[in-house]
Amino acid sequence: MTLENPSLKKSKMDDIEDFHSGDRLVQKSKEILTSIVIPLYNEENSIKDVINRIPNHRLYEIVIVDDGSTDNSVERIKEIENRDIRII
């Protein structure tokens, strides 16, 4: 009697090759490919300029990590239209 786990027959490298040869990779390429993370703390006067220097492209998302700003930094970001911006 052989005690063999069939899921162990396939190596991790096989999983990687299957992923790259499958349709999932092609589908993912149509979505966001790059996240630009910007730390934020009391940058009310400069945050809009920083964001506007980033090319407006559908393959970018901008993630802004606010560390408890006490000025109007978050409000300035919300004034920006037509950008994929997430504030956390």
The answer to the question of residue 86 being in a domain is yes
3 state DSSP class of 61: strand
Domain count, the chain: 1
Find all residues with CB under 8 Å of 72, minimum gap 6, and list them. Answer: 44
In a domain, 10, yes or no: no
Q: What is the pLDDT of residues 19-73, one digit of tens each?
A: 444 545 444 455 668 899 999 999 999 999 999 999 888 888 999 999 999 999 9
Domain that holds residue 73: 31-88
Residue 85 within any structural domain of the chain: yes
Q: How many CB atoms lie within 10 A of CB 14?
A: 10
pTM of the entire predicted model: 0.60
Beta pairing, strands 85-87 & 34-40:
unpaired
